[in-house]
Amino acid sequence: MLRILCVVGARPNFIKIAPLMKEMARHPDRLEPILVNTGQHYDQEMVDFFFADLKIPEPDVNLGVGSGSHAEQTARIMMAFEPVCQQYSPDLVLVVGDVNSTLACSLVAVKLGIKVAHVEAGLRSFDRTMPEEVNREVTDLLADCLFTTCEDANVNLRHAGVPQDRIFFVGNVMIDSLLEHLPAARQRSIHEKLNLKEGEFALITLHRPSNVDDPQTLKQLLEAFEHIQNRLRLIFPAHPRTLKNLEEFRFDKKINRMHNLAIMPPLGYLDFLALMDRARLVLTDSGGLQEETTILGVPCLTLRENTERPITIAQGTNELVGTDPQKIMAAADRILTGQKRRSQAPPLWDGKASQRVIQVLLELAR
C-alpha cells in the first residue's frame, strides 16, 4: 500500500488533481491518497465551486494558510505542512503545477526524507521574474518522479541534469479534466443568462502581477480591449486582485466607456469552460488556458512576452502578443476577419494522462 499526500492550493491545482484522485480511487487496495488543501486560494466560495464541479472529494486536511507575500505564504505552508507529514508518514508527496504550495510542500517532504512526485514537470518560460518559474525549477530539482506533458519539457529536464529514469512522459492531466467535463459544460446555460451567442464574444482573464500591478501596463491592455469591444462583446470574469487595481488606478471612467465590456466575478469551472468553448477569441495571461484553447480550437492571444507552454504555439491556437496594444489589436483583427489557426492536439493530450501517472505509482507501490 502506497500512502500518498496529494497537495492542492489554487484553482489550477484543483483541475489537475481531480482526474488523479479519481484514478487513484480505482485502486483502493494499493493506493491510499490523502488530499491536503493548503488554502493558498483563500476564496472559499470559489474553492467550493471548483470542488463541486470537478467532483473532487472533501480534503482530508485543510491548512488554511490564506494570502500573503510569496515568502510569507511559502513559509506558512511549510510550517503547516510539516506536522501533516509527521502525522501521516506518507510514502510519497504528490504536487501539481507551479504555485507556492507546489514548492513549499516539496521542500518539506525532501527535508523529511519523503519522496516527491511532480505532475506537470519540466515546463519553462526561462523568465525568473515569474514566481512560478522559480517554483518549477526548484520543484523539479527536488522531485524523484517527474511527470511531463510534452517533449520540450523532457528536453528541459535532461538539460537540467535530471536522470532519464526519473522522467515520465504521460501527457496533460488538465486535458483529462477538460475532456471529461466538456459534455456537462455544454449543458450549462451561462451563455443564455449573459445573452451570448456562440462565436460572438471574447473571453478575458488577467491575474499576473506583471500585468495588473503596473498601472501603465494595465492601461495599455485596457486600450486594446477598448478597440476590440467595438467589434466584439468582451466577457471579463475578473480576479479580485485585478478588480482592486482597476479601482485603485482609477480606470473606472475608461471602463465605463466600454459599453460592450462586461466585468463580473470569477466563475466556476464548468461555467467558465462553457463560455470558453463558445468564445470567438480568448485573451489571457494564464498558462492553463493556452492549453485548453488548443484542445478546443479557440484562438488564444496570450498577453505575455513568453510562455512555458510553447507547444501551444507550435501545435495549437495560441499566439504570444505581449502587452503592446497595437500588437494585440492587430492580432485580434486578424482573427475577427476570419484568419483562424488550425489546432492539432499534442501527443498524449488524449484524456488518459492520469491513468499513465497512476500506472507509474502502482509500479512504485509494487
CATH class of domain segment(s) 2-172+349-365: alpha beta
pLDDT score at 43:
74
Taking the model in full, what pTM does it have?
Answer: 0.96
Spans of all domains in the chain: 2-172+349-365, 182-336
Predicted pLDDT at 250: 93
SS (H, E, C) the chain: CEEEEEEECCHHHHHHHHHHHHHHCCCCCCEEEEEEECCCCCCHHHHHHHHHHHCCCCCCEECCCCCCCHHHHHHHHHHHHHHHHHHHCCCEEEEECCCHHHHHHHHHHHHCCCEEEEEEECCCCCCCCCHHHHHHHHHHHHCCEEEECCHHHHHHHHHCCCCHHHEEECCCHHHHHHHHHHHHHCCCCHHHHCCCCCCCEEEEECCCHHHHCCHHHHHHHHHHHHHHCCCCEEEEECCHHHHHHHHHCCCHHHHHCCCCEEEECCCCHHHHHHHHHHCCEEEECCCHHHHHHHHHCCCEEECCCCCCCCHHHHCCCEEECCCCHHHHHHHHHHHHCCCCCCCCCCCCCCCCHHHHHHHHHHHHHC
Can 2-172+349-365 and 182-336 be said to share one CATH topology?
Answer: yes
In this predicted structure, what is the pLDDT of residue 342?
A: 76
Quick one: pLDDT at residue 48?
86
Give the residues of the chain that fall short of pLDDT 50.
none
**What is the set of active-site residues?**
207
Q: Is domain 182-336 annotated with CATH 3.40.50.300?
A: no
- The pLDDT assigned to 290 comes to 97
